[in-house]
Amino acid sequence: MSIYDIPVTLNDGTDTTMGAWEGHLLLIVNTASRCGYTPQLETLQELFDDYAPRGLFVIGVPCNQFADEEPGTDKQIACTYSEQHGVTFPVLKKCDVNGPNQHPLYEFLKGEGPDIEWNFEKFLVSPSGEVIGRFAPGMEPDEMPIIDLFEQHLPL
C-alpha cells in the first residue's frame, strides 16, 4: 500500500486520501495546542508559507494521547490553530498515533520503528511517497537537518 492510498479526514470533516498531496514533499506532524512545543505551529506555518510554492505541504495531525494536551473538539482545534497560531496548512481530524486505535497513516509512517514519543514528532515524506526523515519533538521544524532535506527534495 502506498501512503497515497490512506484515507484521511480533514479537520472540517472532509473525507479524502493522502493522494490529495501526491507528488509533494510532506512534513507531517502530530500536534497539540496545550503542549510546551505548541509554538512550533508558528514555525510550521512559516515553513509552509516559504516552501509551498516549491511543493511542500505541512500537515498537522492533532492528537490527545500525550498528557491530555489536545482535549478539544475538531472545531475548537481549528479555531485555536487558526486564531492563536495563524495556521493555514492542512489539519486532519484528531486521531491516535500509537496503540490499537492508531490511524493507518501513522502505521505507515512508523513502519517498524518505535512509537511516537510525544507531540510534535515530525515525519518527512518524499514526493514519491517514501519516509525520508523522522525528527524528535524537541527538534525545531526549521533546524538544518530538516531544511537540508527540503532543499534536496524540492525544485529550486
**For the whole prediction, is pTM greater than 0.85?**
yes
pLDDT value for 156: 86
Please list, in sequence order, all residues whose beta carbon lies within 8 angstroms of the beta carbon of residue 150, skipping any fewer than 6 positions away.
Answer: 25, 47, 51, 56, 124
Could you report the per-residue pLDDT of 52-99, keeping only the tens digit for each? 999 999 999 999 999 999 999 999 999 999 999 999 999 999 999 999
Please list, in sequence order, all residues whose beta carbon lies within 8 angstroms of the beta carbon of residue 13, skipping any fewer than 6 positions away.
Answer: 74, 93
pLDDT value for 1: 85
Q: Is-catalytic flag, 35?
A: yes
Rg, C-alpha atoms of the chain: 14
Q: How far apart are CA 25 and CA 51, in angstroms?
A: 10
Give me the domains of the chain, ranges plus CATH numbers: 3-153 (3.40.30.10)
Q: How far is CA 2 from CA 5, 124, 128, in A?
A: 5, 15, 9
Given 35, 63, 79, 95, the catalytic residue: 35
Identify any residues that bridge with 125 across adjacent strands, giving them in sequence order. 26, 131
One-letter identity of residue 88: T
